[in-house]
Structure 1
Amino acid sequence: MQPNTDRTAPDPEPTAGDAAEAEAQAQAQTPAARVPQQSGGDTPASAPAPAPASARPRVTLRSDLRAGVLDGAVALVITAAIFVLLYARIRSRASSTATVMPFMADDPGGFWMYFLSQAFGWSALLWAWVTVVLGLLLSGPRPAWLPMSVPRLERLHRTTSLNTISLIAAHALLFAAELINHDTDAWYAAAWTAFVESFVPGGYASGTGRIAIPIGQAALYLAIPLGLLFYIRHRIGPTTWRVLHRFVIAVYILSVWHTLLYGTNVWYDGWFRTSIWLLQLPIAALFLLRLLRPARRSQRLTAPSAHPGSQAGWTLRLTGRILAGATLAILLAVLATGRDGGRAEPPADTSSTHNHD
């Protein structure tokens, strides 16, 4: 989930995505052919030449996994805190989960894996949110008040991306483990059923899960390749990587959609569901700002006459800006009116199954 950036001189400041692309290009050149560039795109004759690309450590999956240990530890601590909160709320019957599935409130200890799966799902959504925000800050105008440098933001963006994938996977695996734990069939039959229901689109054939679980599966199956393509960008080419990387936002949208549909904590109207909608405002605003003031010159929306032969591309960029603005307006309307799709009252009876009807 790395940012999609590629500035063209004389843009004032290169982003870390440019550094990654420049590094890949430099590795294909001989040392004598490498020409270092400054942030403005022109290298003054009196300026000292920076270290060659070969002297800088290359970003690899292994190095980012090592760098992401601290970030992952923080994610686990937050997941544990969320688990304690969810468990306490279900025991006190303050959680709407107790309304949807009261049998869990009667025996919370017997369903601890379900609550842990929920905790990993919430921390995954939080880490996905942070990852998207960092990506938008890197690919658009960076606020002057931001204390971190571009390389540090880029590395944090990569590590939160990797940890998001891990958190989503843990969420799905624990959901499957919970299904196995309460299946009365033989272990191998229970394991197969849990695998189909948790990881095969359409395998979960009851209740809201018929729609919500395939959406969550799509988020997981898109997050893995899109998050890891950065590490083979020198093989697939920077242009291909940038095109594919644009679909990262879809992973986040699918994750939010899955949460609003299937998260029993946010089924009903209330502050918990409202907070999910509130979190989308910064994303929508940053995305609109990124489109209005893109880092790459080629993505700027100038007059159509300035782009001869590319009327379709100009129209697409204009449409994207209109849709982003409309999304922000819709979010504001949802929060102002309180019509956020939440259920007004609990269902009549869902006390006997996991169906989440």
Structure 2
Amino acid sequence: MLETPVPVRRRRRFDWPALRADLRATVPDATAALVVTAGIFAWLYARVEAGTSMTLQVMPELADAGRYWMYWLCQAFGWSGLLWAWITIMLGLVRSSARPGWLRVPVARIERWHRTTSLTTIGLMAAHAVMFFAELVRSDEDGRGWAGRLATSFAEVFVPGVYSSGTGRIAILIGLLALYLAVPLGLAFYLRQTTGSRMWRALHRFVIVVYVLSVWHTLLYGTNVWYDGAFRTLVWLLQLPVAALFLARLLAPARRGDRLHLRDAAKRPGALPLAARLAGRIAVAATVVGLLVVAATGRDGGRTPGVTGAGLNVTQGQVWAGLAVLLVAVAAVVHRLRPTRRAPAASEAGPSSPDGEHGRR
């Protein structure tokens, strides 16, 4: 008697069911983010109306809060986006670090929070850019028609390197790179069945670059933190727990294979990866010390009211060169960890659990 062959379930290239489930779980988180954004917008609006916003010292023409409300909403989305980026990067570092004994929250819940806050962050970043685009379209005074306004504003906001005025030459370029890197790196999880879990984990680690770019964009172009003061100090102080937790993640990662074993260095091959891991830990430790010094002294390169500040010390060419180095590193990781084609064993014919694969992260 012939046995009926069991159909092999083909894996999807993109895990749409998982994305839809995470999007549904994001609704409460996104709602909270919108409420926070509304509160920030009301606060910024009130400061402009009262004449106490530091932005007015940079761009006094924005004193009419009612006319430029889209700009202030853009700023509000930027601030809430940075806050949610901070939340999601902290959750990600907690998830990928060795679990401390006092942490009672299940790992699966932290992981779900990390994914939902990541999706919310991408949405807030996109809203930040869209509102800036809308403001440029509205305030275009060059006499162009709607088609010209839309094309010019779209290029200035969404095409890296086109915006050419003031600090925006660098800051908007950095912000766009952060947005465009956040989408593929943040959604790499849903491609893990195609790329393999090792590759998506390696790619996801580059998300820390997105966070650094976001903070850099805020400090360089956020007019509310343009000058020395409480806002700028707060942004710096919020980086201390990120740097400390990142160092803890490097010293005590959750996955055993990521741990640094100096005692076994002489017995095992692969001195270069070991040296790279050690260098990374030393660099992060130095960064923590540097952040402490900056927060304690308040000397972070911020401008002083009434004093002409220094010009831009970073060029677009340097930013593009840095992006090229990052892309080369990403390409090297993809090449090294690309999945190999092999016939599945009999025991692998059945469907695998995405959650179980991710749980071994």
Shorter-chain TM-score category? 0.7 to 0.9
Taking a change above 3 Å as real, the CA distance of residues 192 and 175 of structure 1, as seen in their structure-2 partners, is same
In the alignment, structure 1 residue 319 sits paired with structure 2 residue 317 = no
Do 1:100 and 1:347's aligned partners in 2 also have CA atoms closer than 8 Å?
no
Aligned residue-pair number? 294
Quote how far apart the aligned CAs of 1:29 are.
9.2
Taking a change above 3 Å as real, the CA distance of residues 151 and 261 of structure 1, as seen in their structure-2 partners, is same
Do 1:260 and 1:267's aligned partners in 2 also have CA atoms closer than 8 Å?
yes
| Correspondence for 1:159 among 104, 116, 133 | 116
Q: Quote the residue 1:81 is aligned against.
A: 39
| Correspondence for 2:165 among 206, 230, 238 | 206
User: Matched residues in 2 for 1:327 and 1:301: separation?
Assistant: 19
- If the length of structure 2 is used for normalisation, what is the TM-score? 0.79
Q: Quote the residue 1:255 is aligned against.
A: 214
What one-letter code is carried by the residue in structure 2 that aligns with 1:63? A
Percent identical residues: 59
User: Matched residues in 2 for 1:154 and 1:305: separation?
Assistant: 32
Quote how far apart the aligned CAs of 1:143 are.
3.5
1:26-65 correspondence runs (5 A): 60-65=18-23
Q: Quote the residue 1:288 is aligned against.
A: 247
Comparing 270-279 and 95-104, the one that deviates more: 95-104
User: Matched residues in 2 for 1:229 and 1:208: separation?
Assistant: 32
Q: Quote the residue 2:49 is aligned against.
A: 91
Q: Quote the residue 2:354 is aligned against.
A: none
Do 2:156 and 2:163's aligned partners in 1 also have CA atoms closer than 8 Å?
yes
Do 1:114 and 1:174's aligned partners in 2 also have CA atoms closer than 8 Å?
yes
| Correspondence for 1:127 among 64, 70, 84 | 84
What one-letter code is carried by the residue in structure 1 that aligns with 2:278? L
Q: Quote the residue 2:95 is aligned against.
A: 138
Tell me the secondary structure at the aligned position of residue 144 of structure 1: coil
Quote how far apart the aligned CAs of 1:194 are.
0.7
User: Matched residues in 2 for 1:157 and 1:202: separation?
Assistant: 31
Quote how far apart the aligned CAs of 1:141 are.
2.3
Quote how far apart the aligned CAs of 1:111 are.
0.3
- If the length of structure 1 is used for normalisation, what is the TM-score? 0.79
Q: Kindly provide the CA deviation profile for residues 237-272 of structure 1, in whole angstroms up to 9, marking residues without a partner as x.
A: 111111111100001000000000000000001011
Runs of 5+ consecutive residues of structure 1 not aligned to the other structure: 1-27, 31-57, 349-357
Do 2:99 and 2:254's aligned partners in 1 also have CA atoms closer than 8 Å?
no
In the alignment, structure 1 residue 102 sits paired with structure 2 residue 60 = yes
Q: Quote the residue 1:276 is aligned against.
A: 235
Q: Kindly provide the CA deviation profile for residues 290-312 of structure 1, in whole angstroms up to 9, marking residues without a partner as x.
A: 10111122221112535622100
Taking a change above 3 Å as real, the CA distance of residues 94 and 144 of structure 1, as seen in their structure-2 partners, is farther
Do 1:100 and 1:346's aligned partners in 2 also have CA atoms closer than 8 Å?
no
Tell me the secondary structure at the aligned position of residue 305 of structure 1: coil
Q: Kindly provide the CA deviation profile for residues 1-27 of structure 1, in whole angstroms up to 9, marking residues without a partner as x.
A: xxxxxxxxxxxxxxxxxxxxxxxxxxx
User: Matched residues in 2 for 1:305 and 1:176: separation?
Assistant: 53
| Correspondence for 2:192 among 228, 233, 240 | 233
What one-letter code is carried by the residue in structure 2 that aligns with 1:117? C
Quote how far apart the aligned CAs of 1:322 are.
0.2
Comparing 165-174 and 148-157, the one that deviates more: 148-157
In the alignment, structure 1 residue 174 sits paired with structure 2 residue 131 = yes
Runs of 5+ consecutive residues of structure 2 not aligned to the other structure: 1-6, 10-15, 309-361
Do 1:124 and 1:164's aligned partners in 2 also have CA atoms closer than 8 Å?
yes
Taking a change above 3 Å as real, the CA distance of residues 299 and 319 of structure 1, as seen in their structure-2 partners, is same
User: Matched residues in 1 for 2:114 and 2:171: separation?
Assistant: 27
